[in-house]
Amino acid sequence: MDPAALLSILNTVVGQAAEQAAISGADVIKAGALIGAGICMGFGAIGPGVGEGFAAGKACEAIGRNPQEAGLLTRTMLIGQAVSESTGIYSLVVALLMLFVVAA
Partner 1 sequence: MEWTAETWEFVGRYLGAGFALGMGGIGAAVGMGMAAGKANEAMMRQPQQQSVVLRTMLIGQAVGGSPSIFALVIGLLILFKSSSASLAGPEFAAAVIAAGLSIGLGCFGSGLGCGWPGGSGCEGVARNPRRATSVSSSMIIGQAVAQSPSIFATVVALILLFVPVSATGYAAFGICLGAGVAMGAGALGPGIGSGTTAGGAVHGSSRWPRSQAATLRTMLIAQAVSQTPAIFGMLVAFIMLFAMRDLEGDIIGFAKTFGAGVAVGFGGVGPGIGSGTAGEFACRVTAARPRTDALILRTMLIGQAVSQSTAIYSLIIALVLLYVV
In the complex, the residues that contact partner 1 under the rule CB under 8 A are 14, 16-18, 20-21, 23, 27-28, 30-32, 34-39, 41-61, 63-65, 67, 70, 73-74, 77-78, 81, 85, 88-89, 91-92, 95-96, 99-100, 103
The nearest distance, CB 17 to partner 1, in angstroms, is: 4
Rounded to whole angstroms, the Cα distance separating 40 from 92 reads 8
Which helix H or strand E contains 4, and what residues bound it?
helix 3-18
Nearer to partner 1, 1 or 65 (CB): 65
Select 1 or 70, whichever has its Cβ closest to partner 1: 70
Nearest to partner 1 of 5, 65 (CB atom):
65
Name the residue nearer to partner 1 (CB basis): 1 or 18. 18
Find the shortest distance in angstroms from Cβ 15 to partner 1. 10
Q: What share of the chain is helix, strand, coil (3-state, %, to 5)?
A: 90, 0, 10
Q: State whether residue 32 is helix, strand or coil.
A: helix
Q: What is the closest distance, in whole angstroms, from the C-beta atom of residue 1 to partner 1 in the complex? A: 19
Under 8 Å between Cβ of 44 and 90: yes
**One-letter identity of residue 22:** A
Whether 84 and 45 have beta carbons less than 8 Å apart is answered as: no
